[in-house]
Structure 1
Amino acid sequence: MLKIALITPAGRGSRAGNRATATRWAGLLRELGCRVQLAGPGDDLHQLRLSTSPPDLVIALHAWRSHAAIRACRQSFPECPLIVVLAGTDVYRFQHSHPEVVHDSLEHATALIGLHACVADDIPARFRSRLHTVLQSAPTLPPGAPEPGRRHFHILVAGHLREEKDSLRTALAVRDLPSTSRLRVVQLGRAYSDEWADAARKEMASNPRYQWYGDVPHWRVRQWMARARLMVISSRMEGGANVVSEACVAGLPVIASDIPGNRGLLGSDYPGYFPVADTGALRECLLRAERDPAFVATLRERVVAQAPRFRPEAEREALARVIAACGLTPCEPACREPAVRESLP
């Protein structure tokens, strides 16, 4: 049985994307017949010896945040293959602000994983031969999920409030609309700072079209995916947002900022992009969606066409290919141990 140590910078109970990815991957790797141990911040990496022997493979999420753990694993298990997963902030922020840290993690890696198809364009050429793409998956909505109401045209924004997400852009876009507009913005996600929380509360107080519900369990997010008519991804940078995968599987049309992380999931010719941080352009997209059912239908057709790429079995097979590229083979299904799953955020 292949023994895998899976390192994430987000601790148990966190709703951060890194923890959700690690938890989901642990389940998928167990389905492949692997034995998986998760390690979070503060865990003793010397405890990663499974069954009194070193792991056969280490997977580390986030080149910058997991840098110390990556170096420690290389010292403790020098012969062990190491896969480093590139987050959006690795590629689009930290490799520019802290290149010595990010690139050191990449140098130690046997293989790299990018979470969207455009990552290769934004990393140094010397690392591209090690890069593999693994698209994050999402389950289908359960039977009996709620349907959109008629009174309001709900727009969903799902993601923690922080600078990288440009989190209040959609709220700004629905200010001062004609009184006849039915547009309403529902925002879900934890504020990463008191400043972001204060900004969201002030926006609610002055903008009757905007409602922030804060940190909510994942089932509530999925309920709103069923109730909303549109989702907005306004991020300034993304490594391959799982919420895009979820929207596609749910058949929820997406309006997205024109960045590599969104193009790498939705395609370069997707018709629902707007320029980053352009409030006016986003407002026009939203008003067009409200007034033009054919535009929304086109967006829905495009996300539905992408949905098979985001099925759990596709993600599992992609992980198996990366493991094989490291010269390893997961157990046959007959060797599988029962999956132990954490609750997803």
Structure 2
Amino acid sequence: MEIIIITPAAPGSKAGNRATAERWKWLLEGEGHRVSVMTEYHGEPCDAFVALHAWRSHGAIQSFRRCWPSTPLVVALTGTDIYYHQKKYPRETLAAMDAADVLIGLHDLVVQDIPLQYSSKLVTVFQSADVGLREPIEAEDGAPFRICVIGHLRDEKDSLRAALAARLLPLVSRIQVICVGKPHNSQWQNAAEKEMRENSRFQWLGELEKPELKKLMVDSRLMVISSIMEGGANVVSEACRAGLPVIASDIPGNQGLLGDDYEGYYPVGDEHTLAALLRRAESDPSFLKKLAHQVDELAPKFTPENERHALERALALAIQRCPRQRQGHLGN
């Protein structure tokens, strides 16, 4: 098939949408498809069209549907689509969802947060990671207990919540919070720099390349996912595949990946409970071991093979659901 993937994130961007688009291109090309990733759409023909982000790609989605009403359309829903844009900008967001033959959700609980009439269109695709399993770090007397926070610094990520929690820890704690990611704006940059000046337990490294990110995960004892909204963060998949224990905010986007019985949740925005969990992970080896066991058990669902198969299911369903679509594309 000739497939177009549209994303609002430009080439070279480290935004999650761009990373997802490039990974899907690689996965689908591994199945023999020919895939183009674009940021703008000008009516080019294809056998299937995949749009990342319902609201941000709304114009491209409507343009595609006008140009090619008989071609399957798949729309992948982001966290801001589900938990913000469908309420703030319902006309554009719901029009994009309505135009789609298939909707992709990136975690198990998306169905609870979209209009009921779209639930039959929904296919879950867990984002994958190729990170190999890491060896657990043995505790050493006096060594820092490193906790990583990975993701662009912005409101949706609540990026400094772990740093605020670290301020509440007792003096005997060896916890150090290492935060990486590009600031969304100057306010976030100023906030991170101010936090470093005032909080000896916090370090912000800015935006890192992938090898440096992998090394940070290897060197860390724990990862904190503090977001107030997520569509299904790929960094959770990476942590699970790396065997890195996670403490996460109790939002659907995290619970839909880690499951209801995961023991590392805290109430979103609550640095006091987060601080208590961080201290417990540092001081109670059995708790940290339990979290590591749970992420190890989750790791198999975040493999590239599973993500590729889910994408193929979404494309096949889009062809099936598109009533005007000519038969015979898949497998030609």
TM-score clears 0.5: yes
Determine if the alignment matches structure 1 residue 63 to structure 2 residue 19.
no
Determine if the alignment matches structure 1 residue 243 to structure 2 residue 266.
no
Alignment of 1:173-184 (within 5 A): 173-184=165-176
Alignment of 1:89-104 (within 5 A): 89-104=80-95
CA displacement at 1:109 relative to structure 2:
0.3
CA displacement at 1:330 relative to structure 2:
4.2
Cα distance between partner residues in 2 of 1:276 and 1:139: 29
1:235-265 C-alpha deviation (Å, 9 max, x unpaired): 0000000000000000000000000000000
Cα distance between partner residues in 2 of 1:147 and 1:19: 32
Determine if the alignment matches structure 1 residue 134 to structure 2 residue 133.
no
Determine if the alignment matches structure 1 residue 195 to structure 2 residue 187.
yes
Give the match's secondary structure for 1:96: helix
Match for residue 81 of structure 1? 72
Cα distance between partner residues in 2 of 1:64 and 1:209: 38
Which sections of structure 1, spanning at least 5 residues, go unmatched?
A: 49-53, 333-345
Shift in alpha-carbon separation, 1:80–1:88, aligned structure 2, 3 A: same
CA displacement at 1:121 relative to structure 2:
0.2
Give the match's secondary structure for 2:3: strand
Q: Please report the TM-score for the alignment, with normalisation by the length of structure 1.
A: 0.91
Alignment of 1:1-345 (within 5 A): 2-40=1-39, 43-46=40-43, 48=44, 54-141=45-132, 150=140, 151-327=143-319, 330-331=330-331
Match for residue 341 of structure 1? none
Please report the RMSD computed on the Cα atoms of aligned residues, expressed in angstroms: 1.6
Cα distance between partner residues in 1 of 2:162 and 2:255: 19
Contact 1:231-1:253 within 8 A present in 2 as well: yes
Give the match's secondary structure for 1:112: strand
Contact 2:246-2:264 within 8 A present in 1 as well: yes
Percent identity of the aligned residues? Answer: 50
Shift in alpha-carbon separation, 1:95–1:148, aligned structure 2, 3 A: farther
CA displacement at 1:141 relative to structure 2:
3.2
CA displacement at 1:179 relative to structure 2:
2.0
Bigger mean CA offset, 322-331 vs 73-82 = 322-331
Q: Please report the TM-score for the alignment, with normalisation by the length of structure 2.
A: 0.94
Shift in alpha-carbon separation, 1:148–1:224, aligned structure 2, 3 A: farther
Contact 1:4-1:56 within 8 A present in 2 as well: yes
1:145-204 C-alpha deviation (Å, 9 max, x unpaired): 995773100000000000000000000000143221110000010000100000000000
Contact 1:6-1:58 within 8 A present in 2 as well: yes
Cα distance between partner residues in 2 of 1:44 and 1:116: 28
1:30-66 C-alpha deviation (Å, 9 max, x unpaired): 01111101111xx3423x3xxxxx2010000000000
**Paired letter, 2:90:** P
Contact 1:320-1:330 within 8 A present in 2 as well: no
Contact 2:133-2:243 within 8 A present in 1 as well: no
Moved over 3 A (4+): 145-150, 328-332
Contact 1:141-1:222 within 8 A present in 2 as well: no
Shift in alpha-carbon separation, 1:329–1:248, aligned structure 2, 3 A: farther
**Paired letter, 1:30:** E
Shift in alpha-carbon separation, 1:235–1:108, aligned structure 2, 3 A: same
